[in-house]
Chains A and B, each alone.
Chain A
């Protein structure tokens, strides 16, 4: 197991018996545990101190021992749990990546559905405008002439339903783009003359672009 906690752990002997490397050692390589210090002091001729479960007793200080702070029970265990292992980090990275991909997909889908809704409302509004004009305007001002034949009107009205704002910084290009073209024509159906608005919605993912048709029957 690889531990990537940057803090140094001063653990009692036996708490992390398999640790290797510079952990718990000084730069010279000598161990800095209580037992190692006591052995080094004993070799120098000093009397050993009285070891307690919380370190060394204060009496040992008078005999040359370095005082150690009392250590709470289980502190080494708490410190080892505060660190993250490599597996945990990799798992969190994987989960975060999946979350980012999921959020992106949901965002794109919501944006696409919003665009479809707005395009549908605009198509209905444009069709209603031309219906009003075709129904109530004087004959010379109507956009379509009533033709007795069944052929469609020779000159359909075209335009775009969506003018997205382009990315800033493209000063040479126009400020707004053009998307979702539509065309309006008048046909003679079975129920009489009718206005037909057709527009093409863009593709999304594996879904190909498709045409949407809206029809309104004109009053005779």
Chain B
């Protein structure tokens, strides 16, 4: 009886562990797919932008239809294209994507984000200093770098975009 009880308990525990692991993998895959969609939105917004700016702080209102002068790096990215304005903001744990067009505002939040190390080929082990999500090279390439921390791994994301006027 005791042997049967031990074996059944072990099998049940093993099955629960396997299910828990599978749930974690599925959640990681879903989270990665969401951030792939974010990368696609970001890439399209940057490539089709007629005006864009990167800010370290929350951007102020535009004047004369033009975006206020920004910085070379920061956690805010604003892209203006023919369909409207897309604003990306990293608040330390998540990236918020706000799309405004034809009077409608659509906001999506992508969680599980951490800052990428300066060399994103290396995993982020929490030892990197402050590194903005968005930065602009001297030649006009907009780059967005962030890491997605899932329950099983870390996924680095890099988005390179050359705005229309820079191509």
Question: Which residues of B lie under 8 Å from residue A39 when comparing CB positions?
Answer: none
Question: What is the interface size of chain B, counting residues whose CB is below 8 A from a CB of the partner?
Answer: 42
B153 to A114, Cβ gap below 8 A? no
Shortest beta-carbon distance from B119 to chain A in Å: 9
Known A118-B29, A137-B139: A84·B15 in contact at CB below 8 Å: no
B25 to A125, Cβ gap below 8 A? no
Check: B123 CB closer than 8 A to any chain A CB: yes
Which chain A residues have a beta carbon within 8 Å of chain B's beta carbons?
4, 6, 84, 89, 92-93, 96-97, 99-100, 103-104, 107, 110-111, 114, 118, 121-122, 125-126, 129-130, 132-133, 136-138, 140-141, 158-160, 162-165, 174-178
B22 to A165, Cβ gap below 8 A? no
Question: Which residues of A lie under 8 Å from residue B151 when comparing CB positions?
Answer: 165
Known A84-B4, A165-B152, A176-B153: A103·B22 in contact at CB below 8 Å: no
Residue of A at shortest CB range from B121? A159
Known A6-B1, A129-B159, A132-B161: A174·B32 in contact at CB below 8 Å: no
B39 to A165, Cβ gap below 8 A? no
Stretch of B5-13, B53-61, B67-75, B84-92 contacting A (4+ beta carbons < 8 Å) = B5-13
Report Cα–Cα, A133/B8, bound state, in Å.
56
Residue of B at shortest CB range from A115? B25
Report Cα–Cα, A135/B121, bound state, in Å.
21
Q: Can you pick out 13 interface pairs between chain A and chain B where the beta carbons lie within 8 Å of each other?
A: A93-B3, A97-B7, A103-B15, A107-B21, A111-B21, A111-B25, A121-B36, A125-B36, A130-B160, A132-B43, A136-B162, A136-B167, A165-B150
In residues 130-167 of chain B, which contact A (Cβ within 8 Å)? 137, 139-141, 150-156, 158-162, 166-167
4 closest residue pairs by CB, A with B = A176-B123, A159-B121, A163-B123, A136-B162
Check: B126 CB closer than 8 A to any chain A CB: yes
Question: Which residues of A lie under 8 Å from residue B140 when comparing CB positions?
Answer: 138
Which chain B residues have a beta carbon within 8 Å of chain A's beta carbons?
1, 3-4, 7-8, 10-11, 14-15, 18, 21-22, 25, 29, 32, 36, 39, 43, 47, 121, 123-126, 137, 139-141, 150-156, 158-162, 166-167
B123 to A174, Cβ gap below 8 A? yes
A137 to B159, Cβ gap below 8 A? no
B126 to A175, Cβ gap below 8 A? yes
Query: Which among B14, B153, B154, B161 is the interface contact of A100 at CB below 8 angstroms?
Result: B14
B32 to A96, Cβ gap below 8 A? no
B32 to A118, Cβ gap below 8 A? yes
Known A107-B18, A129-B160: A176·B139 in contact at CB below 8 Å: no
